[in-house]
Structure 1
Amino acid sequence: MARIYKKETKKGIRWGFRVYMGTDPVTGKDIRKSKEGFLTQKDAKLAAALFERQINDGEYIQPSKMVFADLCNDWERYYSQDAKESSLRARHIALKHIINEYGQTPIQKINKKAYQDVIDKLATQFSTNYISSIHTSANMVFEYAHSLNLIKEIPTKGIKLPKKKKTVSDLENDNSINEKFLEKEELEEFLTVAKNEGLEGDLLAFTILAYTGLRIGEMVALKWSDIDFDHYTLRVIKTYYNPTNNKLKYTLLTPKTEGSIRTITIDPLLVDLLQLHKQEQDKVKEENRPFYKDNDFILATNEGYPKTIKHLSIRMQRILKKTSIQKQVTPHSFRHTHTSLLIEANVHIKEIQERLGHSDINTTMDIYAHMTKNIKKEASNKFSNLMKDLSKNLIN
Structure 2
Amino acid sequence: MSKSTINAIKMYTKKNNEKCYMFKVYCGIDPLTGKEQYTTRRGFKTKKEANQALAQIKLEISKGEFKKKQVETYVEIYELWITQYEKTVEESTFIKTTGIFKNHILPAFGAYRIEKINVEVCQRHVDEWADKLKKFRTVKSYASKVIDFAIKRGYIEKNPLTLIEMPKKLKKLRIDDEDELENFYTKEQLIKFLKCMEQESNFKAYVLFQLLSYSGMRKGEALALTWKDIDFTKNEIRINKAISRGKNNKLYVKTTKTGIARTIKMDSATMGILKKWKKQQREDYLLLGFNTLQRNQLVFSNEQNEFLQPTKTRKWLEHVLKKYQLPKITTHGFRHTHCSLLFEANVGIKEVQDRLGHTDAQTTLNIYAHVSDKAKDEAINKLENFMNL
* 1:350–1:361 CA contact under 8 A, matched in 2: yes
Q: For 1:298 and 1:279, locate their aligned partners in 2 and report how far apart those are by CA, in whole Å.
A: 11
Q: For 1:203 and 1:145, locate their aligned partners in 2 and report how far apart those are by CA, in whole Å.
A: 52
After superposing the two structures, state which structure 1 stretch, 341-350 or 212-221, moved more.
341-350
* 1:94–1:133 CA contact under 8 A, matched in 2: no
Would you say 1:351 and 2:365 are equivalent positions? no
Aligned length: 349
* 1:61–1:151 CA contact under 8 A, matched in 2: no
Aligned partner of 2:117 among 107, 110, 113: 110
Shift in alpha-carbon separation, 1:315–1:125, aligned structure 2, 3 A:
same
Equivalent position amino acid for 1:323 in 2:
Y
Q: For 2:265 and 2:155, locate their aligned partners in 1 and report how far apart those are by CA, in whole Å.
A: 52
Q: For 1:315 and 1:251, locate their aligned partners in 2 and report how far apart those are by CA, in whole Å.
A: 22
- Partner residue, 2:339: 339
Aligned partner of 2:101 among 95, 98, 108: 95
What CA deviation, in whole Å up to 9, does each residue of 1:349-392 have, x standing for no partner? 12211111112332112024212101011122222323336xxx
Q: For 1:135 and 1:283, locate their aligned partners in 2 and report how far apart those are by CA, in whole Å.
A: 52
Q: Could you say what the CA RMSD is over the residues aligned between the two structures, in angstroms?
A: 3.3
Would you say 1:149 and 2:150 are equivalent positions? no
Q: For 1:159 and 1:355, locate their aligned partners in 2 and report how far apart those are by CA, in whole Å.
A: 40
What CA deviation, in whole Å up to 9, does each residue of 1:278-327 have, x standing for no partner? 00011023212269896500011232112211011110111111334333
Aligned partner of 2:144 among 117, 127, 139: 139
Q: For 2:318 and 2:356, locate their aligned partners in 1 and report how far apart those are by CA, in whole Å.
A: 24
Shift of 1:62: 5.3
Would you say 1:283 and 2:283 are equivalent positions? yes
Q: For 2:182 and 2:322, locate their aligned partners in 1 and report how far apart those are by CA, in whole Å.
A: 16
> Counterpart of 2:323 in 1: which secondary structure?
coil
Runs of 4+ residues deviating >6 angstroms: 29-33, 243-246, 290-294
> Counterpart of 1:321 in 2: which secondary structure?
helix
Q: For 2:359 and 2:315, locate their aligned partners in 1 and report how far apart those are by CA, in whole Å.
A: 30
- Partner residue, 2:233: 230
Aligned partner of 1:166 among 171, 176, 182: 171
Equivalent position amino acid for 2:313 in 1:
L
Identical aligned pairs, as a percentage? 32
- Partner residue, 1:179: 182
> Counterpart of 1:263 in 2: which secondary structure?
strand
Equivalent position amino acid for 2:387 in 1:
M
Equivalent position amino acid for 1:349 in 2:
I
Shift in alpha-carbon separation, 1:175–1:363, aligned structure 2, 3 A:
farther
**Which residues of structure 2 form unaligned runs of 5+?**
1-26, 40-47, 50-54
Equivalent position amino acid for 2:373 in 1:
K
> Counterpart of 2:297 in 1: which secondary structure?
coil
Q: For 1:296 and 1:84, locate their aligned partners in 2 and report how far apart those are by CA, in whole Å.
A: 24
Q: For 1:383 and 1:324, locate their aligned partners in 2 and report how far apart those are by CA, in whole Å.
A: 36
Shift of 1:269: 1.2
- Partner residue, 1:393: none
What CA deviation, in whole Å up to 9, does each residue of 1:65-97 have, x standing for no partner? 422222222211111112111100111111121
Would you say 1:78 and 2:54 are equivalent positions? no
State the TM-score, normalized to the length of structure 1: 0.78
> Counterpart of 1:140 in 2: which secondary structure?
helix
- Partner residue, 2:3: none
